Structure 1
Amino acid sequence: MNFEYFIARRIARSKDHKSSVSGPIIKIAIAAIAIGTIVMLIAIATGIGLQRKIKEKVSAFHGDIIISNYDTNFSFDSQIPISINQEFYPEFNLVPGIKDIQVTALKGGVIRTEETFEGIVVKGVDADYDFSHFEQYLKEGRLPDYSGNLNAEILISEYLANRLDLKVGDKVATYFVNNDSERPTRTRGFDLVGIYNSGFQEFDEQFLVADIRHIQRLNKWEPDQIGSFEVFVEDFDKLSETSAAVYENIDSELNAISIREKYFSIFEWLDLFDFNIYLIIGIMIVIAGINMITALWVLILERTQMIGTLKALGSSDWSIQKVFLYNAGYIILRGLFWGNLIGLGLIAIQWQFGVFEYPDPEIYYMKEAPVYLNAFYILALNAGTLALCLLMLWGASYTVTRIAPIKAIRFQ
C-alpha cells in the first residue's frame, strides 16, 4: 500500500482527529465545497436550460436558417416570392448537418371582432410543416392539418385569443390590404382549431398559423411560389458554419440568414449567461479553495509533531506534503458527494415539478425556470473543482517544508 495514502487514511479515520480543533474547520470546509457545488450545478443547469429553451422557441417560429429573396424592404406585405422548385428542396443534401427544410410565407393583416381588433402576421405553412415544435406549447384544441384540400383551420396564440375574447371553434374574420386599386382590402374567414402559448410574447402577440395557399391566393402568387424556406440544423452550436455553407450552396439571387443574425440582440443577451456561469463557478471554486487552505493549515499545525517525527525518520518534504494532500482530497470528495447529491436532487425536483418560477415571465420568455444537464457537464465540473482545489492546496502545503524536525518534535 502507498505509504502516504496509508498515513492519510489513518488520520482521516482516527477518532481524535474528528474531536480535535480541526474537526469544526474540516466540517466548514466540507460544507463550503458542498454549497459551492450546489450553486455551480444550479447555475449551469438553469443557465444552459434557459439558453436552450429560448433557442428552441425562436427556432420554432423561424427555423434555424431562413432562405429568401434579397429584399431591403422589411414589410410583410412586400415579401418577394421565390420558386419552390429548388435543387435543395425537399431534401437539403448539399450541406451536411441539415435536419429538415420547410416552406413558409408571411402576410400582415388585422383580426376584427365586434368589440376590438388586433394587428397580426399570418404565417402560411404547407403540408410539410413540422408542427412538433408547437406541440409542447398547445394549450387548447388541436394542431391544424393542411395535408389535404385547402381549409380554413388556424392556430392562434393564447395572448391574442384573450385580447380578442376568442376560443376554440370560433369563426375568425381577418382583413388584408393589397396593392390592388380594384380590391384594396380582402377578407378571409378562418376556423380557430388550436390555441398555443410559447411564453415568447414578442412572437405570441403577432403570429397566426394558417395554410400557405391562402397567402398565395391573397398575393396572387402561382402555386409554386412561396415566401421563404426554413432550415433546421442538427447541431445549433455549429449554426454559423452551417449557415455560411448553406449560403454558398444556393442560387446567387437567394439569401441565407441564421436566426442568430436575424435576432442578434436576443442571442447577444443569451451569450451573457455564459459569462455569468463562468463567473459563478470561478467565485465558488475560489471560496472552496480558501476554506480548504485554511483547513489544511490547521491540519498541518495540529500534526506538527507527526511531521517532525516523519522528517526525523527520513521522510522527504514531498512525501509529507502528499500525506496532507491525500487527506485534503478526501475532504474535497466528501464535499463534492454531498453537493452533487443535494444539487442534482434540487435540479430533478425543478425538472419534474417546476417549483421555481420567474418573478417576471415576460423578461425571461417563460414562467418556470428550465433546467438542463448531461453527464459531461457533471463530470467536468467535479473533476475541475477537485483539480483546481488540489492545485491551490499544493501551494499551501509548502508550509511543511519550513518545519524543522527538532522544533516540531518539541512542539506542544
Structure 2
Amino acid sequence: MQDTARSKHSARNLHICESTKKLFALNFSSFIASRLTFQSKRTFSKLIVRIAIVGIMLGLGVMILSIAIVKGFKKEIREKVRGFAGDIQITKFDNNFSYENSPFMVDSAFIKKAHAQPLIKKVMPYATKPAIIKANGEIEGVVLKGVDKSYDWGIFKSTMESGKVINFADSVAAQKQIMISSYTAARLNLKVGDDFLMYFIQEPMRTRKFSIVGIFNVGVEDVDKTFVIGNLSIIQRLNDWTYREAGGFEVQVTDFDELKSANDQLNKVLPTYLRSYTVDETYPTIFEWLKLLDVNTQVMLVLMLIVAVINMISALLIMILERTSMIGMLKALGASNWSIQSIFLYNSAYLIGMGLLLGNLFGLGFSWFQHTTHFFKLDQASYYMKFVPIELSFSDVALLNLGTLIICLLVLLLPSMLVSKISPVRAIRFK
C-alpha cells in the first residue's frame, strides 16, 4: 500500500515538473522574443523588420481594398441590372425574341401561386414596343417599356437626374407621362416638362404625344441607350390588347444568391404556355464580366500573400543569422531547439500582428474614405458607374486577417528550423 502511494505521489510530482517545465519554456520564449522585438538595438535587423511590417501592412491593405472594390462593383452593377429587368423574366413560350412582345392573359391564379413560393418576392406585368422619337429636328429609335402601378421604382428613384417617376394615382395624366434616359435627352435636346411625338411603326402607323416627367441615368449602356419608360396601358391600346393582357412578367426574388432555386420554384407553378429566364441569361456579357472580376481578385490575393510571406521569411532568416551567438549560448545553457524556435516564431507573430494592425487601419480607413466621399471617379461609359464603389463585411476582414496570420506562421516554421542546424560551440565563436 505504501509503495503504491509513493509511486502515485512520484508520478504526480513528475507531471507537475513536466507542466512547470513547459510553462517555463513558454514564458522563457515569450520573454526573450519580446526583448528582441521591442528592445533590440541592432539597426540592420530593425530596418529589415520594418520592411517586413510594411510589406504585411500593404499586402493586407491591398487585399481588403481588392475585396471591397470587387464586391462593390458586383453589387452596384448587379443591382442596377436586376432593378431594371427584374431577377427573372417570364414571356410567352414561342419563337418571338423581338421587342414586340407576344401577348398573353394575366392569370391571377398563377400570380398568387408564385407569391406563395418562399423565394419569390414580387411579380410585375410589363410590355415593350419599339418606337421612334422625333423632337427638335432630331429622331431617335427607342423601346417603350410599359409598366403598371405595381412596378418597383427603386432603381429609378436612386438614379433619377431630374424630375420624378410616373404618377399612377392620376390615371388620366399617367397616359401621357414618360421617363427617358439622360443619353436620349442629350441626343434630342430635351428636359423635364418638354413634349415630343413618338411614332409606332405598325399598320396603320400610330403617333402619341408624351410629356417628360423624369430623366434617369441607370448607367447601364444597354438600358440608357434603348429604353424609355411609360404606362403599360398605352401599349395595350396600341396593340388592341385587353386590360388583362401583358407582354411578360418581371419577378423579384428574396435572395439573389438563390436565383436558380427561385427559378426552379417558379417553373413548378408556371403555365405551359409561358417560359422563364434569369437576368444573367438576359444580360450574359455583363454577368460574365463580373465573374472575371472574381478571378482577378483571387490572383491579387495570392500575389499579395506571397509578397507578405517572402518579406517575413527574409526578416526571420536575417534575425536568426544576426542572433547566431545568442542561439549558441542558449543551447549551451540547455535550451531545446523548439524553445529557441519558439522565440523567433513569437517574434514573427509580434511583427505579423503589427503589420495586420497597420494593414487594417490602411485598408479599412481607405475604404471608409472612398465610401463616404466618392473621391476616386470612373468613366461611367466603361464601368457603369461614376465612382469606385465599396462593399465590405466584417466576415471578409476577419477571414483575411486570420488567413494571413495562419499562413505566415505555418510558412515560417520551415526557416525557423535553421536553429536546429546551429552548433553551440561554433555559434559562440561566430562573429
Report the TM-score range of the alignment, normalised by the length of the smaller protein: over 0.9
| Greater mean alpha carbon deviation, residues 393-402 or residues 301-310 | 301-310
Q: Aligned partners of 1:51, 1:108: CA distance in 2, in Å? A: 30
| Structure 1 position 397 matched with structure 2 position 403 | no
* Larger gyration radius, structure 1 or structure 2: 2
Q: Aligned partners of 1:408, 1:50: CA distance in 2, in Å? A: 56
Aligned to 1:252: 272
Aligned to 2:205: 185
| Structure 1 position 160 matched with structure 2 position 184 | yes
Query: Quick check: 1:140–1:194 contact (8 Å CA) kept in 2?
Result: yes
| Structure 1 position 198 matched with structure 2 position 215 | no
Question: What are the equivalent positions in structure 2 for 1:10-409 lying under 5 Å apart?
Answer: 10-16=35-41, 19-77=42-100, 79-89=101-111, 92-150=114-172, 151=174, 152-178=176-202, 180=203, 184-358=204-378, 360-409=379-428
Query: Quick check: 2:155–2:218 contact (8 Å CA) kept in 1?
Result: no
Q: For 2:114, what is the secondary structure of its paired residue?
A: coil
> Following TM superposition, by how much is the alpha carbon of 1:319 offset from its aligned partner in structure 2, in angstroms?
2.3
> Following TM superposition, by how much is the alpha carbon of 1:309 offset from its aligned partner in structure 2, in angstroms?
2.6
Specify whether residues 324 and 87 from structure 1 end up closer, same or farther in structure 2 by C-alpha distance, changes over 3 A only.
farther
> Following TM superposition, by how much is the alpha carbon of 1:94 offset from its aligned partner in structure 2, in angstroms?
4.0
Aligned to 1:9: 34
> Following TM superposition, by how much is the alpha carbon of 1:163 offset from its aligned partner in structure 2, in angstroms?
0.5
Unaligned runs of 5+ in 2: 1-22
Q: For 1:21, what is the secondary structure of its paired residue?
A: helix
The one-character-per-residue Cα deviations of 1:194-237 (angstroms, maximum 9, x if unpaired) are: 11111212210111111111111111111111111111122222
Q: Aligned partners of 1:193, 1:233: CA distance in 2, in Å? A: 29
The one-character-per-residue Cα deviations of 1:256-287 (angstroms, maximum 9, x if unpaired) are: 10011121121111100001001001001001
The one-character-per-residue Cα deviations of 1:11-51 (angstroms, maximum 9, x if unpaired) are: 212142xx432000001001111111222122111111111
| 2:188 partner amino acid | L
Query: Quick check: 2:114–2:269 contact (8 Å CA) kept in 1?
Result: no
Unaligned runs of 5+ in 1: none
| 1:395 partner amino acid | L
Aligned to 2:6: none
Query: Quick check: 2:53–2:352 contact (8 Å CA) kept in 1?
Result: yes
| 2:313 partner amino acid | I
> How many positions carry a matched residue from both structures?
404
Q: Aligned partners of 2:230, 2:170: CA distance in 1, in Å? A: 13
> Following TM superposition, by how much is the alpha carbon of 1:87 offset from its aligned partner in structure 2, in angstroms?
3.0
- For the aligned residues, what is the CA RMSD? 1.6
Query: Quick check: 2:125–2:246 contact (8 Å CA) kept in 1?
Result: yes
| 1:131 partner amino acid | W
Query: Quick check: 1:88–1:94 contact (8 Å CA) kept in 2?
Result: no
Q: Aligned partners of 1:100, 1:311: CA distance in 2, in Å? A: 73
| 1:258 partner amino acid | T
| 1:126 partner amino acid | D
| 2:368 partner amino acid | A
Query: Quick check: 2:324–2:428 contact (8 Å CA) kept in 1?
Result: yes
Query: Quick check: 2:37–2:347 contact (8 Å CA) kept in 1?
Result: yes
Q: For 2:276, what is the secondary structure of its paired residue?
A: strand
Q: Aligned partners of 2:102, 2:143: CA distance in 1, in Å? A: 16
Query: Quick check: 2:55–2:308 contact (8 Å CA) kept in 1?
Result: yes
| 2:79 partner amino acid | E
Specify whether residues 90 and 188 from structure 1 end up closer, same or farther in structure 2 by C-alpha distance, changes over 3 A only.
farther
The one-character-per-residue Cα deviations of 1:143-195 (angstroms, maximum 9, x if unpaired) are: 111244242111110100111111111112111122x3xxx211111111111
Query: Quick check: 1:91–1:100 contact (8 Å CA) kept in 2?
Result: no
| 2:123 partner amino acid | I
Length-normalised TM-score, structure 2: 0.90
> Following TM superposition, by how much is the alpha carbon of 1:7 offset from its aligned partner in structure 2, in angstroms?
2.2
| 1:97 partner amino acid | L
| 1:254 partner amino acid | L
Q: Aligned partners of 1:394, 1:71: CA distance in 2, in Å? A: 64
> Following TM superposition, by how much is the alpha carbon of 1:100 offset from its aligned partner in structure 2, in angstroms?
2.2
Identity %: 41
The one-character-per-residue Cα deviations of 1:39-73 (angstroms, maximum 9, x if unpaired) are: 21221111111111111111121101111112322
Q: Aligned partners of 1:97, 1:408: CA distance in 2, in Å? A: 69
The one-character-per-residue Cα deviations of 1:238-268 (angstroms, maximum 9, x if unpaired) are: 2222223322331222111001112112111
> Following TM superposition, by how much is the alpha carbon of 1:310 offset from its aligned partner in structure 2, in angstroms?
2.5
Query: Quick check: 1:90–1:102 contact (8 Å CA) kept in 2?
Result: no
The one-character-per-residue Cα deviations of 1:356-378 (angstroms, maximum 9, x if unpaired) are: 122x4312112211111111111
Q: Aligned partners of 1:123, 1:392: CA distance in 2, in Å? A: 58
> Following TM superposition, by how much is the alpha carbon of 1:82 offset from its aligned partner in structure 2, in angstroms?
2.2
The one-character-per-residue Cα deviations of 1:312-331 (angstroms, maximum 9, x if unpaired) are: 33333222222211111111
Length-normalised TM-score, structure 1: 0.94
More helix by share: 2
Q: Aligned partners of 1:72, 1:320: CA distance in 2, in Å? A: 75
The one-character-per-residue Cα deviations of 1:369-395 (angstroms, maximum 9, x if unpaired) are: 111111111111111111111121112
Query: Quick check: 1:171–1:190 contact (8 Å CA) kept in 2?
Result: yes
Query: Quick check: 1:332–1:386 contact (8 Å CA) kept in 2?
Result: yes
Q: Aligned partners of 1:81, 1:262: CA distance in 2, in Å? A: 19
Specify whether residues 116 and 90 from structure 1 end up closer, same or farther in structure 2 by C-alpha distance, changes over 3 A only.
farther
| Greater mean alpha carbon deviation, residues 196-205 or residues 278-287 | 196-205
| 2:75 partner amino acid | R
